[in-house]
């Protein structure tokens, strides 16, 4: 009995710090409201401080409100964030960001920054992974992870593969907020 209590105590002792670390930081959490519900994204400033700051700045400016999910490929990802043109060709008024690549793999729920062919061309667009895609690992900047609401992401209208996932009459971000600012 004593050994069982000791094992239980050790398990609890190691679980408590992990639970404390997993408490969401409202300054680094995004609420992305879709027509299908809220998606909560835990940002990773430890991996990509400049990209995270850009997302928070644009969110606070209302840049992402009513922006379409212009490119959604079943089994791959849902891309949004073109608040300038809405078709995937635009960015924000801010300059492009230098890459902040990490070893975090692109698995389901990971949020990454979209870019053009240059690694240093991410600006405002981002994507949410619908499935694991190892070919993106180390090639795109990871900025966060969906911690709830993947069911809503799964319902976002997909584009045809023949059109590289470009969606006609796409679903839109209803509203995006930094959790610390949410009303």
Overall number of domains in the chain: 1
- Rounded to the nearest integer, the mean pLDDT of the chain is 91
Among positive and negative, which fits the CA dihedral 51, 133, 150, 147?
Answer: negative
CATH number of residue 87's parent domain: 2.40.100.10
| Enclosing domain of residue 64 | 25-181
DSSP string of 106-164, one letter each residue: --TTEEEE---SSTT-B-S-EEEESS--GGGTTTS-EEEEEEE-HHHHHHSPPPPGGGT
Query: For 135-151, how does the pLDDT look when each residue is reduced to its tens digit (9 = 90+)?
Result: 999 999 999 999 999 99
Query: What's the pLDDT tens digit per position in 84-134?
Result: 999 999 999 999 999 999 999 999 999 999 999 999 999 999 999 999 999
pLDDT at 182 exceeding the cut of 90: yes
Q: At residue 111, what are phi and psi to the nearest 5 degrees? A: -110, 125
Q: Is the pLDDT of residue 66 over 90?
A: yes
Q: Is the pLDDT of residue 17 over 90?
A: no
- Yes or no: say if 121 and 139 are a contact pair by the CB < 8 Å rule: no
Taking the C-alpha atoms of residue 179 and residue 73, their distance in angstroms, rounded to an integer, is 28
pLDDT average, residue stretch 165-173? 96
Q: Mean pLDDT across the stretch 62-89?
A: 97
Region 40-53 average pLDDT: 98
What is the pLDDT, as a whole number, of residue 24? 80
Whole-angstrom CA distances from 25 to 30, 62, 144 are 10, 20, 12
The residue length of the chain stands at 183
Note if the pTM is more than 0.85. yes
Structural domain contains residue 33: yes
Instruction: Identify whether 95 is part of a domain.
Output: yes
DSSP output for 17-72: HHHHHTS--GGGEEEEEETTEEEEEEE-TTT-HHHHHHHHHHHHTTTTTT-B--EE
- Mean per-residue pLDDT, 155-181: 96
Query: Would you say residue 75 has pLDDT above 90?
Result: yes
Structure tokens at 39: 């998606």
User: Band of the pLDDT at 22, cuts 50, 70, 90?
Assistant: low
Residue 10 forms part of a structural domain: no
In the predicted structure, residue 18 carries a pLDDT above the cut 90: no
Q: Residue 100 falls within a domain, yes or no?
A: yes
pLDDT of 183 reads 81
Give yes or no for residue 170 having a pLDDT over 80: yes
């Amino acid at each position: 009995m004593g050994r069982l209590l000791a094992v239980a105590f050790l398990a609890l002792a190691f679980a408590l710090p992990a639970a404390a670390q997993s408490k969401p930081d409202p300054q680094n959490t995004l609420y992305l409201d879709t027509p299908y519900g809220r998606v909560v994204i835990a940002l990773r400033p430890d991996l990509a401080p400049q990209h995270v700051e850009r997302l928070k700045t644009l969110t606070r400016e209302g840049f992402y409100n009513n922006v379409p999910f212009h490119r959604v490929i079943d089994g791959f990802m849902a891309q949004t964030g073109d608040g300038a043109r809405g078709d995937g060709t635009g960015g924000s008024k801010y300059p492009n960001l230098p890459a902040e690549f990490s070893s975090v793999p692109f698995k389901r729920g990971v949020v990454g920054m979209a870019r053009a062919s240059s690694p240093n061309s991410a600006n405002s667009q981002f994507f949410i992974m619908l499935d694991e895609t190892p070919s993106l690992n180390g090639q795109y900047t990871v900025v966060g992870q969906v911690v709830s609401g993947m069911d809503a992401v799964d319902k976002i209208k997909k584009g045809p593969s023949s059109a590289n996932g470009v969606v006609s009459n796409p679903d839109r971000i209803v509203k995006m907020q930094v959790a610390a600012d949410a009303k």
